[in-house]
Structures are given as structure tokens and as C-alpha cells.
Amino acid sequence: MAGRTEQASRTIPGLRKRRNLTYTQWSKGDNGTYFPVGETMPSIKPGHYNLGIGPSGPYFIPVTGRDDALLDFPDSASRNILNGVIRFWEREAVFTKYGVPFKRGILLYGPPGSGKTCTLEMVSRDVIERGGIVVSYPGHSQILLHGYRALREIQPEIPLVVIMEDFENYGNDTELLNVLDGVEKIHKVVFLATSNYPERLDPRILNRPSRFDVRIKVGHPVAASRRLYLENLLHPGDEMDVNRYVADTEGMSLAHVKELFVATVILSGNYEQTVVRLQQMHVEQPNSDDNDETPEWERDLLADSPAPARF
């Protein structure tokens, strides 16, 4: 019997071998056709999902999120943004009272490594705790629309956050702009987009509140935030001049701060050379037309490095 099933899967187009699926009930199509299906659920579990679409329609794929603690930085744009989103969720009755669509668009812009992704994570965790879901923009407005329509037919009131990272890569999609505008009836949704290069965005995006109602710059972390980040990395008994690290990372991203810690505390690298390297990385962009001369700071770094191990 098993042999005939395997033979059929090779000879009948479209027939696939079932994998860990037990049929439990029937799904009825529009024309009265019945299809065997597995376990069905009345709702999507709160969480973060990627959107896809197949022959049977849209589907939601769970995304494994971060489970580490998020730092609440002082004087943080992230905290202000989260507070604004929380206020939005709490004002649904007021939106309804005035007949205004219950949706919000927020554009975060700033240099790479400034904390935009951390902000997305904070907003995501909040909406999931509220019983809502987060969807990463699938890169195509039609997939988003199909997924949104299916979601609203089954769960019309579930809070939804749509995350659109690096929005400059697809922000000129007219159909997507129409979605943000509310041409499609959008309800109980926060569109949260990020961009490292806002100058590449079309004025139709930047100057149209109905698409992005709020534009917020997320700059490099202030001294108090860098201090909190470094102190969070330290273990009891560690000896490190935190004041020096904070002073020497002025104007740098948290990614630079972390690399200074890793290179000097964990890898025992030369502190001064690492600071110079990070400063150069922060202000200079490599170019294939650069001459072949190795920069002085890199020569010093190589000279200070231990000989490679032989195996």
C-alpha cells in the first residue's frame, strides 16, 4: 500500500506526500467542493508573523522573537514612541466617536544602529501582550492586503502592528501608499516603518500625514543611555572605566559601544586602537577605488595582534 502511494506521488501531478498531518474535518469551497483539512483554530495566537500566500490563500508563519530583557533608556525616543502607541490603543472609542479610521502611521528615521529596531521590539511586545499580532511587511502590497482581509474576516477586532523596515526600499509603491492612505478600510492597525535614508523617500510619503502621521528621528544614544547599556553588560567583579568608555563613544551607535566592549573586555584588545578603529568606521565608508595603502590605525592594529595559531 505504501509502495502504491509513493508510486502515485511520482506519477500524479500535484500529489504530495503528507507530512505529519492528520485530517480532522472538512472545508467547503464556494462551489460546494469539500477538502479534508487538519486542526482548525478560531483565532491566531498573539505573536509575530511573516505573511505568505499560496494556492489556498494567505498564511501566517510564526517568527521567533527576542526573549531577552529590553533596556528602558533614559531620554529615549523609543519610550516616547511606545507611550504614543499605547495612547492610541486606548483611544479607540474617541476615534469611533468622531468617525475617524482607527489607524496610525509612524515613520522612524535615523542613522543605522541608533535603536530603531529596539523600538520596533518594544511596540511589538506591547501589542502581543494586548492579545494582538505583529506582521512584517512581506514586500508586496497585494500579499499584505490579502492577509489583512483574511484576518479581519475571522478576527475583526484583533490589534495589528505592521512593521516595515528599510521603507526606502519599497516606499514608492503606489498601491502600498493607497493602503496607508486608507483606500482599503483599515481598522485597528499601527503601521510602523523605519528608514536609515529618509532623503531617499518620496515627498508623497514625507509630507502626507494620512500615510505617516508622525515622523520621529531616532538619534544616537545619549551619554546616560550608553552608560546604562555598558553597565548592563558588566558582571559583578568586572573592572572597567565606564566613564572613559562613555566619553569615547560620543556620537556612536550602540553597535559601536558593544564592539568596544567586546574587543577590549572580552578579547583583551588594545583600547586606544579599538577606539580609533570605531571612529574611522563611524565616519568613513570603504570604497573599491581606495588606494592600496593600509591606514595607520589598521597597521597598528595588525602589529598588535597575536600571531595566528597553527593547527
Q: Give the pLDDT score at 79.
A: 86
Question: What is the Cα 296 distance to its own chain's centre?
Answer: 37
Of 163, 189, 217, the last residue of a domain is 217
Q: Is 310 inside any structural domain?
A: no
- 82 & 211 share domain: yes
Fill in the DSSP letter of residue 306.
P
What pLDDT digit, counting tens, does each position of 136-152 carry? 999 999 999 999 999 99
Q: Is-contact 295 280, C-beta < 8 A? A: yes
Q: Is-contact 311 283, C-beta < 8 A? A: no
- 93 & 166 share domain: yes
- 132 & 196 share domain: yes
- 211 & 248 share domain: no
Of 184, 217, 250, the last residue of a domain is 217
Q: Give the pLDDT score at 15.
A: 47
Q: Is 300 inside any structural domain?
A: yes
Phi, psi torsion values for 32, nearest 5 degrees: 90, 0
What percent of the chain shows pLDDT beyond 90? 52
Q: Is 252 inside any structural domain?
A: yes
- 211 & 241 share domain: no
- 125 & 190 share domain: yes
- 171 & 88 share domain: yes
Q: Is 1 inside any structural domain?
A: no
The whole domain housing 252 covers 223-304
What percent of the chain shows pLDDT beyond 70? 82
Q: Give the pLDDT score at 281.
A: 84
- 82 & 212 share domain: yes
- 158 & 83 share domain: yes
- 162 & 264 share domain: no
Nearest to 300 by CA among 264, 272, 265, 281: 272
Neighbours of 211 (CB within 10 A): 21
Where does the chain have alpha helices with state H? 2-11, 77-89, 92-97, 116-129, 141-154, 174-181, 203-206, 223-233, 242-248, 254-261, 271-283, 296-304
Q: Which of 1-5, 147-151, 307-311 has the lowest mean pLDDT?
A: 307-311
**Residue 112 half-sphere exposure toward CB, CA atoms < 13 A:** 6
Fill in the DSSP letter of residue 111.
S
Q: How far apart are CA 241 and CA 262, in angstroms?
A: 14
Q: Give the pLDDT score at 293.
A: 58
Q: Which of 119-123, 274-278, 294-298 has the lowest mean pLDDT?
A: 294-298
- 233 & 286 share domain: yes
Q: Looking at the predicted structure, is the pLDDT value of residue 1 above 60?
A: no
What pLDDT digit, counting tens, does each position of 175-214 carry? 888 888 877 889 999 999 999 999 998 888 888 888 899 9
Q: Which residues contact 84 (CB under 8 A, 6 or more apart)?
A: 106, 214
Q: Give the mean pLDDT of the chain.
A: 84
- 139 & 264 share domain: no
Total domain count, the chain: 2
